[in-house]
Amino acid sequence: MSKKQEGTYRLAGGITVTDADLEADAQRFEAGECDGSWKVLPGRPQLFGEDTMPVGTRLPESLVRELDEAAGELGQTRSELVRRFISDGLLALKA
């Protein structure tokens, strides 16, 4: 598993940007080079191109601690890592 690079961020839609990208955008905004029209969308942004459903399960505390530790090392949230493990597991079953 690869670690998240310091100073990189994953945006909604899967786009990855760096601190340098954000700084360049900020300079463009401050220089007035952007038209400045914003459309505010209510609610949280979609994670995927389709609706999602909550799925709950109970896990032993020790497993949750391991999961949180691994997620932290990878620069991910617990939910991101669980989704990744489920997706990878389903792909492995189909192989």
Per-residue pLDDT tens over the stretch 22-80: 999 999 888 888 776 777 778 877 778 888 899 999 999 999 999 999 999 999 999 99
**Nearest alpha carbon to residue 1 among 93, 60, 72, 55:** 72
- Contacts for 70-75 with beta carbons within 8 Å, 24 or more apart? 73/3, 74/1, 74/2, 74/3, 74/4, 75/3, 75/4
pLDDT confidence of residue 43: 80
Residue 95 has pLDDT above 60, yes or no: yes
CB-based contact 74:89 (threshold 8 Å): no
One-letter amino acid of 38: W
Q: What pLDDT band is residue 13 in, cutting at 50, 70 and 90?
A: confident
Going along 11-72, which residue ranges are E strands?
A: 16-18
- The helix or strand, by DSSP H or E, that contains position 8, with its residue range, turns out to be strand 8-10
With a cut of 50, say whether residue 93 has pLDDT above it.
yes
3-class DSSP state of 1: coil
State the first-to-last Cα distance of the chain, in angstroms, to the nearest integer: 20
pLDDT surpasses 70 at 2: no
